Structure 1
Amino acid sequence: MTATQFRILTLNIHKGFATGPRRLVLSHIREHLRASKANIVFLQEVVGDNRRHRERLQQWPDDSQMEFLADSVWSHHAYGKNAIYQHGHHGNAILSELPFVSWDNIDASFVNFSQRGFLHGTIADGVHLLCIHLGLFERERRLQTLHLIDYINRTVPEGAPMIIAGDLNDWRRTTHRTLKDSLGLCEAHEIVHGKCAETFPAFFPMLAMDRLYLRGFSIQHCERIAGDNWRDFSDHCALMADVTLTSG
């Protein structure tokens, strides 16, 4: 990797459990993330701590899921704690081969029973990374989208290179249109293939839920990663792209 070329990947890891019969598949996830050769990885539904699982599951990692998945491959990582409960918490994470200049977690919760946030990190060349996981309800997503746009307009320099990735739950593409129009973004899979990728459910993808939005990058390649090896460990497919920085 150079400071201008990146392979980026986004995946909702389903808290480390396979769909169907409930079994922990974190080692399987780590194996496939490594095999992807991604330099920057955006993850959603990452468990920071869960005392019940730690006590009951022999394979539960000693460290957080983020640290377990990053291991020695991604030396730099950030975690945003969003959903907090008595026995633990989970949220978004970014794994990076390049160091963070700064990072912050921004609350984006608009309904009492749905705790959400935007994880915002900045790396070299002023590249801004935002990992997001929007809510399940249309009104909730609309408020979160407006909050995200306002936050970016206030904190990210105009025209600065930016990647927004994650699980948007935006099957109607309402947020998709708003982000493109308001922030001058392009969506990687749409640029390469003419439409957003269907990524959910993984066993038979029908809904375009996961996205890779970019500003200040050219896109060489983008693919939905599916098949037996991937769909065994999440209810979402992964989305991956090769991009080159064109502004900074």
Structure 2
Amino acid sequence: MRLLSYNIHKGIGGRDRRYDLDRIIAVISHERPDLICLQEVADGIPRAGGGDQVAAFSGAFPDYHPVSQTNHRFRVGSYGNLLLARWKVERSHDVCLRYLNRKKRGAQLVVVSTPTGPLHLINWHLGLHESTRQWQASYLLEHHCYRESCHLPTVIVGDFNDWRNTLARGPFARHGLRQVTEPLQRFRSFPAYLAMSSLDKIFCCPQVEVEQAHVVRSRLARDASDHLPLVLDFRMKHRASRVEGTSQVEPGHKHQEARHA
């Protein structure tokens, strides 16, 4: 199966600064992914067309199951993460990753019922400070919402903002997760028009067999956003498990029902 991870920069081009969500949709469609993990998806932001981008992506990919997460709110509009799966999403958690008084960040945790069994998939967008990212990664990997499904084949993707790549040898190594996006020079994804840093990453557990991973470097991808998308082709091997329920969690809050399309 194929997964695509993409910080779409609200549909605003990285080089021409022009808003054009159709370019983003065309880049994604060309790769034909089964699982789409997006960051910086906007809703009602004037600079980003003022529309509901979750609705736009749902319309562009009508056969996919969308799960959205709002993270940062402006006075007018907001943005967050969006996951679209070709197969049914059996379980979904939102985990707030806000650290101290810094910008609110979040992670989406879903269990997708794929043709070869359940997949535990995390889509997130981490902070700009090293201390923030270390806390966010450790917090998520020790969170009970993560732990209840970590026995399944697990993939963690998104914009890590980890330009020094310190998370790989820190919390991920402690939890037995390996980095797919290495060596770093092969996975430079930012800025899109002259990629120098490997900010977008993929980690997975031993139950995930990686066939190949690459950065999309087409001309359209270099224009459509300030990040280039990542593509992962993989297989799974896992034990049978029980899938149930849906919930939403933030630090210091009890489980609540999470609603998704």
> Does the pair score TM above 0.5?
yes
Tell me the residue number matched to 1:201.
191
Q: Decide whether the 8 Å contact of 2:14 with 2:226 is kept in 1.
A: yes
Q: How many residues align?
A: 234
- Written as runs of structure 1 = structure 2, the 5 A alignment for 1:201-220 is 201-215=191-205, 216-220=207-211
Corresponding position: 1:110 with 2:99: yes
Classify 1:132/1:158 alpha carbon distance in 2 versus 1 (closer, same or farther; 3 Å): closer
Q: CA RMSD in A?
A: 2.1
Classify 1:169/1:150 alpha carbon distance in 2 versus 1 (closer, same or farther; 3 Å): same
Classify 1:21/1:226 alpha carbon distance in 2 versus 1 (closer, same or farther; 3 Å): same
Tell me the residue number matched to 1:3.
none
Tell me the residue number matched to 1:126.
118
Tell me the residue number matched to 1:177.
169
Question: Shift of residue 194 of structure 1?
Answer: 7.9
Q: What runs of 5+ residues in structure 2 fail to find an aligned partner?
A: 240-261
SS state of the match for residue 193, structure 2?
coil
Corresponding position: 1:17 with 2:7: no
Of 45, 54, 58, the match for 1:66: 54
Question: Shift of residue 195 of structure 1?
Answer: 6.5
Letter aligned with residue 136 of structure 1: L
Q: Decide whether the 8 Å contact of 1:82 with 1:91 is kept in 2.
A: yes
Tell me the residue number matched to 1:41.
36
Q: Decide whether the 8 Å contact of 2:185 with 2:198 is kept in 1.
A: no
TM-score scaled by structure 2? 0.82
Question: Shift of residue 179 of structure 1?
Answer: 4.0
Deviates more, 1:131-140 or 1:213-222: 213-222
Tell me the residue number matched to 2:250.
none
CA distance in 1: counterparts of 2:214 and 2:142, whole angstroms: 30
CA distance in 1: counterparts of 2:175 and 2:36, whole angstroms: 22
Task: Write the deviation string for residues 76-115 of structure 1: whole angstroms up to 9, x where unpaired.
Answer: 0111111012211111111110111121211101142411
CA distance in 2: counterparts of 1:20 and 1:196, whole angstroms: 22
SS state of the match for residue 192, structure 2?
coil
Q: Decide whether the 8 Å contact of 1:26 with 1:69 is kept in 2.
A: no
Letter aligned with residue 22 of structure 2: S
Q: Decide whether the 8 Å contact of 2:15 with 2:193 is kept in 1.
A: no
Tell me the residue number matched to 1:83.
72
Structure with more helix by fraction: 1
TM-score scaled by structure 1? 0.87
Classify 1:102/1:157 alpha carbon distance in 2 versus 1 (closer, same or farther; 3 Å): closer
Q: Decide whether the 8 Å contact of 1:170 with 1:176 is kept in 2.
A: no
Classify 1:8/1:47 alpha carbon distance in 2 versus 1 (closer, same or farther; 3 Å): same
Q: What runs of 5+ residues in structure 1 fail to find an aligned partner?
A: 1-5
Of 149, 160, 167, the match for 2:159: 167
Of 209, 222, 225, the match for 1:231: 222
Letter aligned with residue 86 of structure 1: R
Classify 1:143/1:247 alpha carbon distance in 2 versus 1 (closer, same or farther; 3 Å): same
Question: Shift of residue 178 of structure 1?
Answer: 2.1
Deviates more, 1:147-156 or 1:133-142: 147-156
Letter aligned with residue 148 of structure 1: L
SS state of the match for residue 23, structure 1?
coil
Aligned sequence identity (%): 26
Classify 1:195/1:183 alpha carbon distance in 2 versus 1 (closer, same or farther; 3 Å): farther
SS state of the match for residue 162, structure 2?
coil
Moved over 4 A (4+): 193-196
Letter aligned with residue 102 of structure 1: R
Q: Decide whether the 8 Å contact of 1:187 with 1:196 is kept in 2.
A: no
Question: Shift of residue 158 of structure 1?
Answer: 4.6
SS state of the match for residue 173, structure 1?
coil
